[in-house]
Structure 1
Amino acid sequence: MQAARPTRRTALKTSVAFGGYLIAPEVSAAESTSANEQLNIACIGIGGRGAANVNGVKSQNLVALCDVDQQRAGKVFEQHNQAEKFADYRKMFDKLEKQIDAVVVSTPDHTHFHPSMAAMERGKHLYCEKPMAHSVWEVRQMTKMAVKQDVATQLGCQRHALANMHRSVELIQAGAIGDVSEVYSWVGGSRGMPSIPKTFPKVPETVDWDLWLGPAMPRPYDSTYCPYGWRFWWDFGTGETGNWGCHILDIPFWALGLKYPSRVEGSGPEVDDQRTPKQMATKMHFAEQGVDLHWDHASAGPAKLKELGIDGKGMNTLFIGSKGMLLTGFNKLRLLPEEKFADFKAPQPTIPKSPGFYKEWITACKGGEPATCDFRYSGPLAETVLLGNAAYRAGGSFDWDGPSLTASGNDAVQPFLKSEYRKGWEVAEV
């Protein structure tokens, strides 16, 4: 299952014309040449989002399922009783390393890195949930390991396969709104800052709490951390920015060919050492493209929308160009001002229709072309998302040298670039 993967992508082009709103037809993708060959897949983390990922790859041979919470994972265990069951992924690899071709990791953010690296070190292909890892350093190590081992990878940015995403990217790349100088992306809501537990119940018999903590520093069990609230605690999660940033910033990253920002700024409410905020704002400058990328976690969206008199409901990204603006989301878009683009003719679609986000990865594992969110692309995207969190937590801004993974101008950011591990979980640099 370690065949080389060609990089050529083919497409059938069609022509479309449109006014303000549109979702144009997709372009057909080339068929896989190994469609009938099954992979032996192991899934680590199968409750919650993990259950959806198991479902996404169930067309293949599921040889192992692994989860530290036997109750939360129980339904998936029952549905796929042909697979061997594990709580500890290390024991899974010890027993089944030779049988496993590929691995899906869907654990909490703080435990993405270790099983992912263990899989790739063994030459296993990897599908990993966003935001890929818990720190910028971890993301870079995973990206380097994937290249070193020449394994097929895919980051869980499932919306990358949506038709509207494709059309948005094509419009920007065709110059429909001219040269883009600013982009505003956002997620609504006010999730964050959960209550700090004062009493600690007994760990449920169905949960291996020590394994759930993994590399994180020890603390007593509480249901505010497990099974889901972990997302809003810095020791385990990355907040709403980590939750949604890879999905939403995927749009400008793809459209503008972004990679590493040269400067990162963060602001918001007073920083809490333990908990992620209910709102925050970051600004990333990409010197190579001359673009400022703004990210807001704010219930009403960025202030720029109000300033321009734009209703951003159902949208998440605003591109500002020299000839107009593109307001877009996952499922719809508008060119602004609408009267200017009333008779606009769309460029020919050039992005092929995805055969399915999971199928892209499965095909790549079997020797096909790389998946669209291969780590070479999605690694820098995930790093940028986590850099935004680092800037907020550092209380300001810093200059960033992406190739060398170096921050300067703000020493306070250093602790937030690399995760700290408890004894026994240390990992050497790739």
Structure 2
Amino acid sequence: MNRKDFIKTSTVLAASSFFFNAKGSYFLDQSIRVGLIGVNGMGWSDLNALLKNDGLVCTALCDVDENILKKRAEELQKRNIHVETFVDYKKMLNSSIVDAVIIATPDHWHCLQMVDAVNAGKHVYVEKPIGNSILECELMVQAAKKNKAIVQVGQWQRSQQHFKDAIDFVHSGKLGKIRLVKAWSYQGWKSAIPIVPDEPVPAGVHYTEWLGPAQKRPFNSNRFHFNFRWFWDYAGGLMTDWGVHMLDYALLGMKVSDPKSIMASGGKFAFPDDAGQTPDTMTAVYEFDGFNIQWEHAKGIDLGPYNRNHGVAFIGNNGTLVLNRSGWEVIPEKGRMEAVTIQPSLDNGLDKHMENFVAAIRQRNPQVLHAPIEVGAHIAIFSQLGNIAFRTGQKLYWDKDKQHFTDQKANKYLASVYHNGYKYPKV
């Protein structure tokens, strides 16, 4: 709305509350306009959760795959939601029809799109992991602070009550001295990726725009859509896909941030000949004063620690607290404490996370956020440390003040290499 229109409707607006985005544009509290970048998979789930909130309206969709873009626009139209569609996300950001955006593209695009979004005055919900390198994460934090933007990261467990209750119990001290924290993800449904030949770019797919800063390669369906996460060009495998969830709570429970050292081992043990690059089996150990945090993951099997396919366990002298998305319990050491039976999850984490995002926008207060950009950056960096230890095959020592390794060879992994004329954003 321009100034002239604003003056004309001032008597109406005087009776209504309104809020400002990062650049000072206003929008009525009953109409926060949202655009989605990356409409397949998790992005679609994010949008539908966000639209459950009063006063949220979807006005734009953006994707480099016009086939999925058309499908999603038609699905919304059936619900009487009419949107403008874009292939170029910058055109969507430069339009006046969105106040906030969801970024749910492959990991290697998150940094550029998030920085462009806050520079354009939009508030942002960005999927995890927020970046594909440590440098990207640092730049994203700087950009959000510079623009005073509301940026929520898609670590929705931060909004679930049973996760908070479990961590409160850990902090109570009842478990006694905690010597080891285990975090894990065993994903039985993620099987081998058959090797397929390169092929022509499918009709409707803007492949050059999909690659963006990633290395130029012929189109291969294995690297497109969901399976991008198993290739180093675009993501970091299960370590960054699930590690950012479970390791986040390991750090919260222990009230720590930076490890002293990291070592990791693993490989393609289950599917040695499939098309993926990232390890299907891996263990990483993070050293802290007086305890360790251990991460492990496995594709193709479900029987993880404590017969759970994902979770985090705080192993204390008196007992062990086991926590995952279903709930939490305490398994006591004999005679040292009382057991706590399973405390189940009673809410929808993604829905609550979106409610929190909307509340922060309406209050113009990033302090309200349950998973602000700083939280997302920290755990994404922490997960990257494990991947870098795996890729170097070395025990690495982390300088928390300088935020780099003491081993200069390992520091080459701090930043992704940008290709095709793309450069890291200047903040």
Provide the TM-score with structure 2 as the length reference. 0.81
**Distance in 1 separating the partners of 2:20 and 2:29:** 16
State the shift of 1:125 in Å: 1.3
3-state SS of the aligned residue for 1:110? helix
1:414 matched to which residue of 2? 411
Shift in alpha-carbon separation, 1:344–1:37, aligned structure 2, 3 A: same
The structure in which a higher percent of residues are helix is: 2
1:19 matched to which residue of 2? none
Q: Does 1:426 align with 2:417?
A: no
Question: Aligned match of 2:328 in 333, 338, 341?
Answer: 333
Task: State the one-letter code of the partner of 2:318.
Answer: K
State the shift of 1:149 in Å: 1.7
Asked if 2 retains the 8 angstrom alpha-carbon contact of 1:193 and 1:276, the reply is no
**Distance in 2 separating the partners of 1:423 and 1:182:** 44
**Distance in 2 separating the partners of 1:280 and 1:41:** 38
2:208 matched to which residue of 1? 210
Higher mean C-alpha displacement, 47-56 vs 140-149? 140-149
Shift in alpha-carbon separation, 1:35–1:333, aligned structure 2, 3 A: farther
State the shift of 1:333 in Å: 2.1
| Deviations, residues 172-196 of structure 1 (Å, cap 9, x unaligned) | 1111212323201111137587455
**Distance in 1 separating the partners of 2:162 and 2:337:** 19
2:15 matched to which residue of 1? none
**Distance in 1 separating the partners of 2:285 and 2:145:** 29
Shift in alpha-carbon separation, 1:403–1:121, aligned structure 2, 3 A: farther
1:316 matched to which residue of 2? 311
**Distance in 2 separating the partners of 1:245 and 1:376:** 17
Count of aligned residue pairs for this structure pair: 384
Asked if 2 retains the 8 angstrom alpha-carbon contact of 1:224 and 1:230, the reply is yes
Q: Does 1:135 align with 2:128?
A: no
1:251 matched to which residue of 2? 249
2:61 matched to which residue of 1? 65
Asked if 1 retains the 8 angstrom alpha-carbon contact of 2:114 and 2:126, the reply is yes
Identity %: 26
**Distance in 1 separating the partners of 2:385 and 2:252:** 18
Question: Aligned match of 1:363 in 337, 353, 359?
Answer: 359
**Distance in 1 separating the partners of 2:267 and 2:403:** 27
**Distance in 2 separating the partners of 1:103 and 1:328:** 32
State the shift of 1:113 in Å: 1.3
1:221 matched to which residue of 2? 219
State the shift of 1:353 in Å: 10
Asked if 2 retains the 8 angstrom alpha-carbon contact of 1:157 and 1:247, the reply is yes
State the shift of 1:343 in Å: 4.5
**Distance in 2 separating the partners of 1:155 and 1:250:** 12
Higher mean C-alpha displacement, 337-346 vs 263-272? 337-346
**Distance in 1 separating the partners of 2:425 and 2:401:** 19
| Deviations, residues 283-342 of structure 1 (Å, cap 9, x unaligned) | 11234xx43111101367899x5xxxxx33355211122332212222222212265477
| Deviations, residues 62-102 of structure 1 (Å, cap 9, x unaligned) | 222100112123332113342210011112223x1x44321
Task: State the one-letter code of the partner of 2:64.
Answer: V
Task: State the one-letter code of the partner of 1:364.
Answer: A
1:291 matched to which residue of 2? 291
**Distance in 1 separating the partners of 2:335 and 2:309:** 22
Asked if 1 retains the 8 angstrom alpha-carbon contact of 2:106 and 2:235, the reply is yes
State the shift of 1:51 in Å: 0.8
**Distance in 2 separating the partners of 1:108 and 1:207:** 15
3-state SS of the aligned residue for 1:316? strand
2:373 matched to which residue of 1? 375
Pairing 1:61-100 to 2, within 5 Å after superposition: 61-81=57-77, 82-94=82-94, 96=95, 98-100=96-98
Asked if 2 retains the 8 angstrom alpha-carbon contact of 1:324 and 1:335, the reply is yes
Asked if 1 retains the 8 angstrom alpha-carbon contact of 2:330 and 2:339, the reply is no
Provide the TM-score with structure 1 as the length reference. 0.81
**Distance in 2 separating the partners of 1:66 and 1:126:** 15
**Distance in 2 separating the partners of 1:420 and 1:226:** 20
State the shift of 1:345 in Å: 8.3
Shift in alpha-carbon separation, 1:357–1:363, aligned structure 2, 3 A: same
Pairing 1:17-416 to 2, within 5 Å after superposition: 36-58=29-51, 59=53, 60-81=56-77, 82-94=82-94, 96=95, 98-189=96-187, 191=190, 194-197=193-196, 199-269=197-267, 275-287=277-289, 290-298=290-298, 311-313=306-308, 316-337=311-332, 340=335, 343=338, 356-367=352-363, 368=365, 369-409=367-407, 411-416=408-413
Shift in alpha-carbon separation, 1:301–1:389, aligned structure 2, 3 A: farther
**Distance in 2 separating the partners of 1:192 and 1:364:** 39
3-state SS of the aligned residue for 1:188? strand
Task: State the one-letter code of the partner of 2:41.
Answer: G
Task: State the one-letter code of the partner of 1:89.
Answer: Y
Task: State the one-letter code of the partner of 2:294.
Answer: H
**Distance in 2 separating the partners of 1:342 and 1:314:** 26
**Distance in 1 separating the partners of 2:261 and 2:404:** 11
Asked if 1 retains the 8 angstrom alpha-carbon contact of 2:134 and 2:384, the reply is yes
The structure in which a higher percent of residues are strand is: 2
Asked if 2 retains the 8 angstrom alpha-carbon contact of 1:315 and 1:332, the reply is no
Asked if 1 retains the 8 angstrom alpha-carbon contact of 2:50 and 2:354, the reply is yes
Shift in alpha-carbon separation, 1:169–1:422, aligned structure 2, 3 A: same
3-state SS of the aligned residue for 2:203? coil
Asked if 2 retains the 8 angstrom alpha-carbon contact of 1:193 and 1:278, the reply is no
Task: State the one-letter code of the partner of 1:120.
Answer: V
Task: State the one-letter code of the partner of 1:373.
Answer: A
**Distance in 1 separating the partners of 2:385 and 2:31:** 38
Task: State the one-letter code of the partner of 2:43.
Answer: G
Asked if 1 retains the 8 angstrom alpha-carbon contact of 2:186 and 2:297, the reply is yes
Root mean square deviation of aligned Cα: 3.0
Shift in alpha-carbon separation, 1:2–1:265, aligned structure 2, 3 A: farther
What stretches of structure 1 of length at least 5 have no aligned partner?
Answer: 5-33, 306-310, 347-351
Task: State the one-letter code of the partner of 1:412.
Answer: K
**Distance in 2 separating the partners of 1:406 and 1:396:** 15
3-state SS of the aligned residue for 1:186? strand
**Distance in 1 separating the partners of 2:122 and 2:90:** 14
Asked if 2 retains the 8 angstrom alpha-carbon contact of 1:234 and 1:274, the reply is no
Asked if 1 retains the 8 angstrom alpha-carbon contact of 2:318 and 2:336, the reply is no
State the shift of 1:375 in Å: 1.5
